[in-house]
């Protein structure tokens, strides 16, 4: 029997070639977030890719916080990222690092570059630096401070470190090529002065390295073999390689770029999400309408669904936008055989079975999941008064409407046939109660074959029903509009959240715990909200509806 050939993505091909040629003593990958917000679905792709590669090639995976910009970073973001990464099933504590742990080594690296004549202190203002840098069509011009002596640069850089220079007055720049076709190579800034307390190093430093300088040094110090990042860093790769080569690391890491995950009609930019949070448009970073990992977890999306989605999306070199329906498909596929199928009425109307004995209760056996017998069965109470969905009754139905209307008979799920005989309205003409009769011979599972009905509806027994709040979520961004405007404003969907306060769920859900999830028949998948739900007031978030527009 021929062995199945599994095609490898381009990153795996590069790694396997490096292994074959003995380029690195060990495969080491990393995920290096800046702690300036919460992680989102796009980060999950990078986390799972890097972690998966380390596992596949018997290497190690590092989680490293690139905390080189204390103006935007918080310990809160560090904690949230560790929590999210571990939730994805990644061991984040065994190799946990901070860029700030290497600040001393980065300073020494900068001194080394100065001594090699490869870095200088520049007094130009930020505006002048931009002006001198040139454009994509025109080369830049040298800073008047570019030819300072090594001794002068060493002294000025030490003055910067010792707090003798005001913020913004001087920077340390690499001396590369102001005429380079790659603007990133036109004497980029390596260090700036900033008197800001750091979440980790406190007030030890008043100078901080720039990301493009710090990042390759961190990778090299940790022995990272393959620095896998997204395509926007492709133009930064020459600078990455310049830094590790000029600093003469024995096994310089190799930067490889892949395409970011773009989902249609979702907001993933951290600064945009922060704006939504700060303006209280959403309920924090974990709002279930967001695709932050905290929001997805609170909504009830599982890590397995995210992993399935990432495998479907794959790894490529070219940008593309993925249909959000594909993500929803993965959520449904993951949950459908794992979660019990419960009865919940979200817009209730009362049904009275006029020929059912008053005060009598019987317990009916119900399969927990018709597609997975191993999940067993449960019992639900049945009695004279029930709740059904308001949409399951019409006074004057159109053709092919097979649910409740005067004179029609339907089957109650796992129960009996009921015939609608009458109904009551309030003073506003709203139907408040339906009167029916049941046929005792038609009990579900009894083998009754006397006649058939076309409609089956779900229900809950009114005296035993648990009142609950249900939150229905849709995409935060209007699907008929662009994702966001250039000024950072949004074309938001006004129906992104619908809160239903008077829902009823079957009594088996009484002890549901935060993040427990279920299928509500005909409505979709729901989970208990971990933030607002209490035993006295259950709150369910809709994870995903039953319908899917995604074609596999």
Kindly list the domain boundaries of the chain, sorted by start residue. 10-102+209-259, 103-208, 270-335, 344-458
> Cα separations (Å) of 472 from 281, 326, 379, 501, 526?
16, 19, 27, 11, 9
Secondary structure letter of residue 184 according to DSSP: G
**Residue that the structure tokens 């249609």 belong to:** 264
Contact by Cβ (8 Å): 322, 313 = yes
> Cα separations (Å) of 98 from 199, 254, 430?
11, 20, 63
Instruction: Determine the pLDDT at residue 548.
Output: 59
CATH number of 103-208: 3.90.800.10
The Cα 334–Cα 470 span in angstroms is 22
Instruction: Determine the pLDDT at residue 486.
Output: 46
Q: How many CB atoms lie within 10 A of CB 495?
A: 11
Secondary structure letter of residue 468 according to DSSP: E
The Cα 289–Cα 283 span in angstroms is 9
> Cα separations (Å) of 396 from 44, 406, 422?
50, 8, 13
Into which CATH architecture does domain 10-102+209-259 fall?
A: 3-Layer(aba) Sandwich (3.40)
Instruction: Determine the pLDDT at residue 489.
Output: 60
The Cα 209–Cα 398 span in angstroms is 70
Nearest to 253 by CA among 240, 270, 269, 265: 240
Nearest to 40 by CA among 214, 325, 271: 271
Contact by Cβ (8 Å): 313, 49 = no
Secondary structure letter of residue 404 according to DSSP: B
Instruction: List the helix and strand counts (H, then E) for the chain.
Output: 12, 27
CATH topology of domain 344-458: Ribosomal Protein L25; Chain P (2.40.240)
Q: How far is CA 392 from the centre of its chain?
A: 36
State whether residue 277 is helix, strand or coil: helix
Q: Which one of 1.10.10.10, 3.40.640.10, 3.60.15.10, 1.10.1160.10 gives the CATH number of domain 270-335? A: 1.10.1160.10
For the stretch 380-383, contacts whose Cβ atoms lie closer than 8 Å and that sit 24 or more positions apart, written own/partner, are 380/343, 380/414, 380/460, 380/461, 380/506, 380/507, 380/508, 381/461, 381/463, 381/464, 381/507, 382/415, 382/461, 383/356, 383/461, 383/462, 383/463, 383/464
For the stretch 402-406, contacts whose Cβ atoms lie closer than 8 Å and that sit 24 or more positions apart, written own/partner, are 402/453, 402/454, 402/455, 403/455, 403/457, 404/434, 404/436, 404/455, 404/457
The Cα 100–Cα 102 span in angstroms is 5
For the stretch 497-502, contacts whose Cβ atoms lie closer than 8 Å and that sit 24 or more positions apart, written own/partner, are 497/289, 497/471, 497/472, 497/473, 498/471, 498/472, 498/474, 499/469, 499/470, 499/471, 499/472, 500/346, 500/347, 500/469, 500/470, 500/471, 500/472, 501/469, 502/348, 502/467
Per-residue pLDDT of the chain (552 residues; tens, 9 = 90+): 344 444 578 999 999 999 999 999 999 999 999 999 899 999 999 999 999 999 999 999 999 999 999 988 888 999 999 999 999 999 888 899 999 999 999 999 999 999 999 999 999 999 999 999 999 999 999 999 999 999 999 999 999 999 999 999 999 999 999 999 999 999 999 999 999 999 899 999 999 999 999 999 999 999 999 999 999 999 999 999 999 999 999 999 999 999 998 888 888 888 888 889 999 999 999 999 999 999 999 999 999 999 999 999 999 888 888 999 999 999 999 999 999 999 999 999 999 999 999 999 999 999 999 999 999 999 999 999 999 999 999 999 998 898 999 999 999 999 999 999 999 999 999 999 999 999 999 999 888 878 889 999 999 999 999 999 999 999 888 877 655 554 456 688 889 999 999 999 999 999 999 999 999 999 999 999 999 999 999 999 999 999 755 455
Instruction: Determine the pLDDT at residue 7.
Output: 58
> Cα separations (Å) of 317 from 120, 225, 237, 264, 490?
36, 20, 15, 19, 29
What dihedral do alpha carbons 158, 160, 162, 166 form, nearest 10°?
160
**φ, ψ dihedrals at 364, nearest 5°:** -100, 145
């Amino acid at each position: 029997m021929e062995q199945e050939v599994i095609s490898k993505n381009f990153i795996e091909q590069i790694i396997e070639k490096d292994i074959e040629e003995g380029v690195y003593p060990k495969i080491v990958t990393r995920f290096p977030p800046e702690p300036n917000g919460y992680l989102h679905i796009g980060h999950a792709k990078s986390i799972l890719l890097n972690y998966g590669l380390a596992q596949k090639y018997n290497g190690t995976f590092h989680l490293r916080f690139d905390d080189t910009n204390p103006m935007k970073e918080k310990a809160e973001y560090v904690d949230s990222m560790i929590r999210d990464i571990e939730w994805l099933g990644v061991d984040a504590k065994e190799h946990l690092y901070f860029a700030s742990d290497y600040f001393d080594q980065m300073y020494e690296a900068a001194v080394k570059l100065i001594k090699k004549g490869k870095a200088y202190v520049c007094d130009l203002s930020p505006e002048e630096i931009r002006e001198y840098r040139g454009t994509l069509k025109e080369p830049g011009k040298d800073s008047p401070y570019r030819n300072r002596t090594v001794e002068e640069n060493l002294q000025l850089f030490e003055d910067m470190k010792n707090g003798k220079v005001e913020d913004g007055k001087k920077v340390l720049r690499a001396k590369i090529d102001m005429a380079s076709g790659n603007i990133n190579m036109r004497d980029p800034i390596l260090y700036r002065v900033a008197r800001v307390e750091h979440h980790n190093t406190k007030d030890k430093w008043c100078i901080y390295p720039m990301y493009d300088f710090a990042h390759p040094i961190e990778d090299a110090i940790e022995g990272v073999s393959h620095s896998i990042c997204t395509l926007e860093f492709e133009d930064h790769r020459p600078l990455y390689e310049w830094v590790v080569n000029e600093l003469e690391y024995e096994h310089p890491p190799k930067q490889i770029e892949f395409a970011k995950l773009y989902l249609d009609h979702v907001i993933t930019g951290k600064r945009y999400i922060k704006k939504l949070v700060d303006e209280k448009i959403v309920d924090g970073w974990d709002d279930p309408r967001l695709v932050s990992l905290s929001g997805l977890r609170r909504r009830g999306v599982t890590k397995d669904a995210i992993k399935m989605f990432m495998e479907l999306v794959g790894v490529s070199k070219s940008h593309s936008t993925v249909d959000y329906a594909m993500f929803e498909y993965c959520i449904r596929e993951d949950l459908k055989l794992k979660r019990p199928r419960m009865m919940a009425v979200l817009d209730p109307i009362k049904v009275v079975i006029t020929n059912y004995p008053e005060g009598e209760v019987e317990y009916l056996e119900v399969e927990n999941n018709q597609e997975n017998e191993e999940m067993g069965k449960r019992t639900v109470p049945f009695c004279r008064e029930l709740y059904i969905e308001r949409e399951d009754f019409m006074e004057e139905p159109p053709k092919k409407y097979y649910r409740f209307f005067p004179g029609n008979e339907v089957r109650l799920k796992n129960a009996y046939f009921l015939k609608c005989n009458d109904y009551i309205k309030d003073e506003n003409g709203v139907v408040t109660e339906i009167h029916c009769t049941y046929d005792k011979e038609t009990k579900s599972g009894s083998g009754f074959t006397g006649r058939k009905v076309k409609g089956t509806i779900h229900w809950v027994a009114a005296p035993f029903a648990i009142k609950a709040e249900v939150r229905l979520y849709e995409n935060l961004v209007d699907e008929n509009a662009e994702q966001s405007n250039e000024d950072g404003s949004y074309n938001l969907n006004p129906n992104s959240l619908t809160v239903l306060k008077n829902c009823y769920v079957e009594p088996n859900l009484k002890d549901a715990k935060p993040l427990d999830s279920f299928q509500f028949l005909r409505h979709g998948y729901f989970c208990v909200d971990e933030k607002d739900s209490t035993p006295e007031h259950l709150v369910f978030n809709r994870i995903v509806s039953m319908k899917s527009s995604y074609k596999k």
